[in-house]
Every structure is written in structure tokens, then in C-alpha cells.
Amino acid sequence: MEWNILKEIGLSESEKKVYLTLLDLGDSTRGDIVKMSGVTGSKVYDLLEKLQEKGLVSIYLKDKVKHFKTTNPKQLLNYLEQKKEEISEIEKQTREILPNLLTRFNSSKEDQEVELIAGMRGLDIIFREQVDSLKKGETCYVIGGTWGTGEAMEERTQTFFEKIHLMREKKKIKTKMLFNLKQKKTTEKLYSTKKYPGTSTRYIEHTSPVAINVYKDKTIIIIFGKKITSIYIKSEDVAKSFIEYFDLLWSVSGK
């Protein structure tokens, strides 16, 4: 059985070993746990105390010898509930200081910025920022939109941008997209005007593992290789230049 969920809950690898060993053994001494878990004797007491703090183990004396046993495994749910309460409190405190952090963040920015961002997680962050910053009726421009190379990459990329596009549509953000002509059939199915009335799509003879998104004073250049790399540019002049280029391609593209 897969026990990695215990690590997701918050147990270290060694805590997980000790906890599972104690579940199997029942009432045990330190020596029993060391023998069965493979964890060194010098660490076992500390691990058991940490498990006790989490409410997962009870420690008691029997014939002047420390004995250990697990509490009911349902205590894991209580432990998770406690963590949720702690996270909620941390979130509350974060929201309280966020205005001050944003003020300092914005005041430290220069007129032009360039950032190199790796991976889907980074891509997710910058596109959520895009949706947050654009207001109802404002426009996002997509130039040379293309999926990544390779079937697995294409599926992952397609799923990601469907999610982002739905977020834009819900906020009534307009999207104008130029796609590779070979992708017309797939694109019409995914981004039909019936499903997304705020979206306009045209097609050009262009194949590239690079996509460009432009909005306000931001430009995102996405390179789809074995790994996804994004270049994030904050510059009014750069964005204006790309939008002019977009308008030129739009005027000669086909529906």
C-alpha cells in the first residue's frame, strides 16, 4: 500500500517509518521499534516525541520502562483539521500585511523589467497575474499560439491554456488569437465563439514552438521545448511594438 500520503500530511520519512512500525507492533518499547523500523536508537525518542506532539502516539511508563503505542488512526484527521486552522490563521495574517507588501513591491519596480521563468508552475503564476490585472472588456493578444512539441507536452499545454482561457472568459476579458493554420480544426473545437463569445481567432501560415501573449504593458514569450521556459517583459514600449506587429498579422490572416 502507498503510504506517501503520510508525508503529504506532514510526517517526515523517519516519522512515517516509526509510526507504521508502531501500528504493526502495538504496545512496544524503544528496542522493539528500533529493531523493526531500522531507525537508529539515538533518533527514535525524538521521533516518538514529535509523533506525540502531533497526537499520533502516546507514551507511558510500565514497570518503570517507557512504552509507546499509537493513538486511533482517526487522530490523523484531527491533526489535519488542526493544520487547516493554523493555515487559515496564517492566511488571515498574510492578507493583513499584503497591502503593505504590495506597496513596497510596486515602489521597487523599474519602468522596464525582464524575468526568465521556468516550468509550468511559473507559467501558472504569470497567467493568473494576467487574469487578475485585466479588467472586463480589456484585451489579451496571442501571437503565433502553438502547442508544445511532443504528444504529452501538447496535452499538458492544451489543458493548461483551456483553464486560463476559461478564467479570462468568466471575467469577460477579450482575447484575440493568431494560431497556426494547421491547428484550425482543433482550435475551432476548443475556442469556438459559441463557447467563448469574447474570443476572436484567425490563422496564419506559421509553425513555431514559441507563443507570445501581450496585454497592457506586459509581454510573455513562451518557449515550448523539452521544458517550458517563459520570458516575462514589463515594458510599455515593447508591448506596444508587439501589438502593432499583431495588428499587421491580423490584417493579412484568414478566419
Residue 106 within a domain: no
pLDDT value, residue 216: 92
Pair 232, 218: CB distance under 8 Å: yes
Domain that residue 31 falls in: 5-75
What is d(CA 95, CA 85) in angstroms, rounded to the nearest whole number? Answer: 15
Of 12 and 183, the structure prediction assigns the larger pLDDT to 12
Residue at 141: amino acid letter: Y
| Mean pLDDT rounded to a whole number for the chain | 83
Give the 3-state secondary structure of residue 121. Answer: helix
End-of-domain residue from the set 75, 105, 129:
75
Place of cell 504529452: 152
pLDDT at residue 204 tops 90:
no
Contacts of 101 (CB under 8 A, 6+ apart): none
**Same domain, yes or no, for 49 and 128?**
no
CATH assignment at residue 67: 1.10.10.10
**Banded model confidence at residue 3, pLDDT cuts 50, 70, 90:** confident
What is the domain-level CATH number for residue 150?
3.30.870.10
Q: What is the pLDDT of residues 69-121, one digit of tens each?
A: 888 988 888 888 888 888 888 888 888 888 887 777 766 555 668 888 888 88
Evaluate whether residue 67 is within a structural domain.
Answer: yes
In the chain, how many domains are there? 2
Q: Indicate if 71 and 118 belong to the same structural domain.
A: no
122 and 59, same structural domain?
Answer: no
Q: Are 161 and 232 in a shared domain?
A: yes
Residues above pLDDT 90, as percent of the chain: 14
Count CB neighbours of 19 within 10 A.
22
The verdict on residue 214 lying in a domain is yes
pLDDT in tens, 154-172: 677 778 888 888 899 899 9
User: For residue 131, is pLDDT > 80?
Assistant: yes
pTM of the model: 0.57
Long-range residue pairs from 159-167, CB within 8 A, at least 24 positions apart, any chain: 160/120, 160/123, 160/124, 162/190, 164/127, 164/128, 164/130, 164/131, 165/191, 165/196, 165/199, 167/128, 167/131
Domain boundary among 75, 97, 131: 75
**What are the Cα distances from residue 139, in Å, to 116, 125, 172, 200?**
24, 19, 10, 11
Specify whether 125 is located in the same domain as 204: yes
**Residue 159 is placed in which grid cell?**
489543458
Is 156 among the domain residues? yes
